[in-house]
Structure 1
Amino acid sequence: MRLHLKTIVQQDFLSVFNAFDEQLFRELAPPYPRLKLLRFDGSAPGDVVEVELQTGIKAFRWTSLITERKITDTAAWFVDEGQEVPPPLRNWRHKHLITKQGSGAFIHDIIDYSTGYKVLDLLLYPLMLAAFGMRGPVYRRLFRQV
């Protein structure tokens, strides 16, 4: 299942791309489930990001490996792929793409996920949309024109 969210911001795409660091990661964390950051290496291939999802009942580990990173004249991106994902997920791939748009930029969150069951993927879609949809206002607040 693919989720593609796009947010326009008022800073140039390279400034936005270079701001994808631990501080931004913490700003983007949803209110639920709470995320406990265990490891954040960065966004270069081979880097690892590891969190513990704290639901209040049980904690789940989520480990992602950065597998791609590229910068061109009009776009920049990196990809994290789940190595250990919480149930019911089986597969996770998140492309963080920033594209040039005039003097500003578009931030794309392109998420491909699977539980192994199409019906369950569809049922999870509104939850994914809600969790990642909360990033838009954060992006707009942080990436105003400077």
Structure 2
Amino acid sequence: MRIKIATEVQAELDQVKSRFNEDLFLSLNPPFPPVKLVQFGGCKTGDVVELELNFILFKQKWISKIVEDYESKYQWYFIDMGTKLPFFLKSWKHVHDVRKVTEGTMIVDDITFSTGTLLTDMLMFPLLYFQFLYRKPVYKKWFKE
């Protein structure tokens, strides 16, 4: 399944890139499940991000590795792939695509995931969609000039 959410912010591309850090990462997490950031390596190829998700009755580790990054005058992106995922996910790829646009910068969260079956993908889709929709106002506030 694929989720793609675009958010335009009123900041220059280089400002957005420089503020894509641990503090922003923590701000982007919705209230549930609570997330403990175990490791934030950064946004470059080879960096690792490790989380602990707290579902109250149990906890799940989530480890992603940055497998690719790119930067030009008009675009910056990095791709994280899940290497250790919560039990309900079999695969995870998240492209963080940041592009210069006429009035600022467009941030695109482009996620491809699988739970292992189409039925559970369809059940998980709205939950994940709203988790990422939560980011839109956070991005707008974070990158307000």
TM-score normalised by the chain length of structure 1:
0.96
Matches within 5 A, 1:1-146: 1-145=1-145
Structure 2 unaligned spans of 5+? none
SS at match of 1:105: strand
Structure 1: which 4+ aligned runs deviate by more than 4 Å? none
Query: What count of residue pairs does the alignment treat as equivalent?
Result: 145
CA distance in 2, matches of 1:52, 1:27: 15
CA distance in 2, matches of 1:32, 1:5: 20
| 1:47-104 deviation digits (Å, cap 9, x = unpaired) | 1100000011100000000111101121110011000000210000001110111140
How far does residue 130 in structure 1 lie from its aligned partner after superposition? 0.8
CA distance in 1, matches of 2:30, 2:66: 21
How far does residue 123 in structure 1 lie from its aligned partner after superposition? 1.1
Structure 1 unaligned spans of 5+? none
SS at match of 2:27: helix
SS at match of 1:98: strand
SS at match of 1:116: coil
TM-score normalised by the chain length of structure 2:
0.97
Q: Is the 8 A contact 1:17 1:77 kept in 2?
A: no
CA distance in 1, matches of 2:105, 2:124: 29
Identity among equivalent positions (%) equals 38
CA RMSD in angstroms comes to 0.8
